[in-house]
Structure 1
Amino acid sequence: MTWFRALLAAGLSVIMPGAGHVLVRDWLRAALFAGLFLSVSAVFLPIDQLSAVGPITSVSDVNAYADVMAEETDVIAQFFLSFIALFAAIDATFRALGHSPGGTGGAEGPTCPECGKEIDEDLQFCHWCTTRLEPAEPESETNDV
């Protein structure tokens, strides 16, 4: 299930950077990647030529948009947009697999075995990824005399 979730997060991030982070419930990163991608799109894409094409009502309109994008978008814009999408996909994949950038040394309490985030000891599930948690077994006392 974890690999499927990671691949789905990567695929969503390729389609729209930030969407894969929404899947893994990392809201801040989702907003940052989506905002970065939309900002770069607003700066580099030929918005005036695209708006002149008009609304998409048929397949020929989609082809017209594709033609404008291919002809009017320079290599630098394609590089920036591709880099953001690729970086978002890689980051979402690692986050879905449970690899956090800070490592696991920062958590003071118990952590979820699935997502690695800190959890309450009293809960029976992780409130971040909804993984069911096994109850903690009390430590047996040994009498070494």
Structure 2
Amino acid sequence: MSDSTSETQSRKRPWLALALTLLVPGLGHAYLRLWLRSILWLALYVTASTFVLPDDATPGELSVDAFVAASEAVPLEAAAVVLGVSVVCLVDVYMMTSHVNNRLRRASGAVTVCPNCGNEIDEDLSFCHWCTTELEESEA
């Protein structure tokens, strides 16, 4: 198996991480194998839901009327807190997916890095477009 094949198998899909996080906050982080973040986000969501939502916001039975009554019992401030935790978790899982994929690309050697500033550079250039350091042919 070549390096590019193993890199594509290791790359994480941002859309899948986002979809898993929409189902259960923290599940997208578990997909990325960020176990501590996954547990922390799930705990934050459960804690926010437990302490912010009133007791009568839980439906007593599985019917449409019970769910409508439970949703009407949720104050706007409580819904905003729970929604805010979910949105911040979605942003975090997207950013972490990008970070994990960049780390995988750098580890596979598919990225050329400037020896001066450490930023990713274009292989076609003879200088770093970040810090303008001239590159030798062997580095590029």
TM-score, normalised to structure 1, is: 0.58
Q: 1:15 aligns with which of 23, 43, 55?
A: 23
Q: Does 1:41 align with 2:22?
A: no
Residue 73 of structure 1 corresponds to 74
Distance in structure 1 (CA, Å) of the matches to 2:104 and 2:57: 49
Q: 2:104 is paired with a residue of what secondary structure?
A: coil
Distance in structure 1 (CA, Å) of the matches to 2:48 and 2:69: 18
Structure number with the bigger relative contact order (C-alpha 8 A, sep ≥ 6) is: 1
One-letter code of the match for 2:82? L
Q: 2:58 is paired with a residue of what secondary structure?
A: helix
Q: 1:81 to 1:90 in 2, by over 3 A?
A: same
8 Å CA contact 1:14, 1:86 repeated in 2: no
Q: 1:5 to 1:65 in 2, by over 3 A?
A: farther
Q: 1:113 aligns with which of 68, 81, 105?
A: 105
Residues 53-132 of structure 1: matches in 2 within 5 Å? 53-54=60-61, 56=62, 61=63, 63-98=64-99, 112-113=104-105
CA deviation string 1:26-85 (max 9, x = no partner): 11111111001001111122334526x13x3xxxx2x23431332110111111111111
8 Å CA contact 2:56, 2:70 repeated in 1: no
CA deviation string 1:71-116 (max 9, x = no partner): 110111111111111111111111112269xxx9xxxxxx6327x7
Q: How many residues align?
A: 101
Where do 4+ consecutive residues of structure 1 move more than 4 Å? Answer: 1-4
Q: Higher helix fraction: Structure 1 or Structure 2?
A: 2
Task: Please report the RMSD computed on the Cα atoms of aligned residues, expressed in angstroms.
Answer: 3.0
State percent identity of aligned pairs.
21
8 Å CA contact 1:16, 1:85 repeated in 2: no
8 Å CA contact 2:54, 2:73 repeated in 1: yes
Unpaired runs of 5+ residues, structure 1, are: 105-110, 117-132, 135-145
Q: 1:3 to 1:47 in 2, by over 3 A?
A: farther
One-letter code of the match for 2:43? G
Unpaired runs of 5+ residues, structure 2, are: 1-7, 110-140
